[in-house]
C-alpha cells in the first residue's frame, strides 16, 4: 500500500486531531476525524457509534418508514423494496448492543416517494406508482394490521400529508395536478374520516403535477417541478359548503421533484433541488448552500 507524505511548513508542528477550531494548540493545523463542527468557529460534536439493529434481511433496500407513537405503544415501521412492511423491534433500548429481529407485518408497496404520515392513530403510506390507493397501519397493543382505503373517490395518490385533521393526497396519475382532501377526521357527518367516502368536490386544482406536499402552521406548500404554490385557509371545498382556501404562487423560481428531500425543521421547511438546499418559513426562501459557501460546487456537481 502506498504511503501519503504531507510536507508541512517549518512553523507548523503537525496536525491536531479532533480539537475545536478555536482551541487548537499553537503551531498545529486543524484535522477532524471523529468530531463534526456545529458551525464555523464553534465547539465540536462527537460522532456517535452506529449499531446494526436488524438481525434479518428486510428483503432489499428500504424506501421509507415511520416512527409511530401509537396510543397502545410506539412502533418503528419500515418499508422494504420487496413490498413488505416490517416491525423493527429493539429500538426502544437507547444502549442497543445486540441485534433484534424485524417482523414482517404484511404487504405494503414495492416503492414509495416519501415516508409515512400519521393522522390520529393510523399511519398512511402511498404507492409511488399510483397504481393502488393508499394503505394505513393500525396497532391494537398486540399486533399491527394493514388496510387499504376503499371508500368512493379515494385518489390513487403518490404523495400524502396531514393538515388540520384531514389527509391530503396528490400526484394521482389520473389527475396529477389535483390536491384532494379527505373527510374531516372524527366529524359527525364523516366519523370514519379518510376511511370513508371522499367528497368528489373536495379538491383544488393546482398549476402543475404535484411532486410534494408540506403543511405549515397556517398554510400548505405544494411542490412542483420548477415552482411552489401555497394554499392558505382552513376549510377545504366540499359539496354544499363554501371554502376559505386560496391558492397562490409562492415562487416560480424554485421547485422540487424529490419528495423525500422535503422535510420540516423547527417550524420551517427544507427542500433540495439542482440549485441547492433551501429553507423557507413560508414567507421567504434562503439558500443554505449559498450561505454555507458551497453553492457553486453544488451546481457544478448537479448540472
Residue 41 falls within a domain, yes or no?
yes
Residue 287 falls within a domain, yes or no?
no
In three state form, how does the secondary structure of the chain look? CCCCCCCCCCCCCEEEECCCHHHCCCCEEEECCCEEECCCCCCEEECCCCCCCECCCCCCCEEEEEEEEECCEEEEEEEECCCEEEEECCCCCCCCCCCECEEEEEECCCCCCCCCEEECCEEEECCCCCCCCCEEEEECCCCEEEEECCCCCCCCCCEEEEECCEEEEECCCCCCCEEEECCCCCCCCCCCHHHCCCCCCCEEECCCCCCEEEECCCEEEEEECCEEEEEECCCCCECCECCCCEEEEEECCCCCCCHHHCEEECCEEEEEECCEEEEECCCCEEEHHHHCCCHHHHHHHHC
Taking all residues of the chain, what is their mean pLDDT, rounded to a whole number?
85
pLDDT category, 82, cuts 50, 70, 90? confident
pLDDT category, 102, cuts 50, 70, 90? confident
Is 80 exceeded by the pLDDT of residue 72? yes
Q: What is the pLDDT of residues 49-60, one digit of tens each?
A: 667 778 788 878
Is 60 exceeded by the pLDDT of residue 83? yes
Of 1-15, 38-52, 70-84, 241-255, the poorest mean pLDDT is in 1-15
Residue 19 falls within a domain, yes or no?
yes
Q: What percent of the chain has pLDDT over 90?
A: 60
Residue 208 falls within a domain, yes or no?
no
What pTM was computed for the model? 0.83
Residue 74 falls within a domain, yes or no?
no
Residue 52 falls within a domain, yes or no?
no
Considering only residues 47 and 284, tell me which one the structure prediction assigns the higher pLDDT: 284
Domain count across the chain? 1
Residue 189 falls within a domain, yes or no?
no
Domain extent, residue 23, equals 14-45
> What confidence score (pLDDT) does residue 42 get?
52
> What confidence score (pLDDT) does residue 17 get?
59
Q: What is the pLDDT of residues 202-213, one digit of tens each?
A: 999 999 999 999
Q: What is the pLDDT of residues 261-271, one digit of tens each?
A: 999 998 999 99
pLDDT category, 120, cuts 50, 70, 90? very high
Residue 31 falls within a domain, yes or no?
yes
Amino acid at each position: 500500500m502506498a504511503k501519503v507524505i504531507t510536507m508541512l511548513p517549518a512553523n507548523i508542528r503537525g496536525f491536531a486531531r479532533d480539537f475545536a477550531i478555536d482551541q487548537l494548540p499553537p503551531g498545529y493545523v486543524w484535522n477532524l476525524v471523529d468530531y463534526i463542527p456545529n458551525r464555523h468557529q464553534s465547539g465540536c460534536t462527537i460522532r456517535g457509534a452506529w449499531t446494526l439493529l436488524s438481525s434479518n434481511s428486510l428483503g432489499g433496500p428500504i424506501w421509507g418508514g415511520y416512527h409511530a407513537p401509537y396510543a397502545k405503544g410506539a412502533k418503528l415501521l419500515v418499508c422494504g423494496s420487496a413490498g413488505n412492511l416490517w416491525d423493527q423491534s429493539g429500538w426502544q433500548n437507547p444502549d442497543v448492543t445486540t441485534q433484534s429481529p424485524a417482523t414482517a407485518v404484511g404487504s405494503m408497496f414495492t416503492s414509495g416517494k416519501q415516508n409515512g404520515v400519521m393522522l390520529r392513530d393510523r399511519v398512511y403510506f402511498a404507492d409511488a406508482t399510483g397504481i393502488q390507493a393508499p394503505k394505513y397501519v393500525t396497532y391494537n397493543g398486540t399486533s399491527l394490521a394493514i388496510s387499504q382505503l376503499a371508500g368512493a373517490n379515494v385518489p390513487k395518490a403518490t404523495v400524502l400529508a396531514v393538515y388540520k385533521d384531514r389527509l391530503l393526497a396528490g400526484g394521482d396519475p389520473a389527475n396529477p395536478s389535483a390536491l384532494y382532501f379527505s373527510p374531516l377526521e372524527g366529524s359527525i357527518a364523516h366519523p370514519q374520516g379518510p376511511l370513508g367516502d371522499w367528497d368528489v368536490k373536495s379538491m383544488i386544482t393546482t398549476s402543475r403535477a404535484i411532486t410534494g406536499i408540506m403543511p405549515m402552521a397556517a398554510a400548505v406548500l405544494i411542490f412542483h417541478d420548477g415552482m411552489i404554490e401555497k394554499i392558505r385557509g382552513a376549510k377545504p371545498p366540499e359539496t354544499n359548503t363554501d371554502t376559505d382556501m386560496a391558492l397562490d404562487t409562492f415562487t416560480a423560481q424554485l421547485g422540487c421533484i424529490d419528495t423525500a428531500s422535503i422535510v420540516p425543521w423547527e417550524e420551517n421547511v427544507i427542500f433540495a433541488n439542482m440549485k441547492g438546499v433551501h429553507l423557507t418559513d413560508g414567507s421567504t426562501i434562503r439558500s443554505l448552500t449559498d450561505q454555507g459557501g458551497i453553492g457553486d460546487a453544488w451546481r457544478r456537481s448537479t448540472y
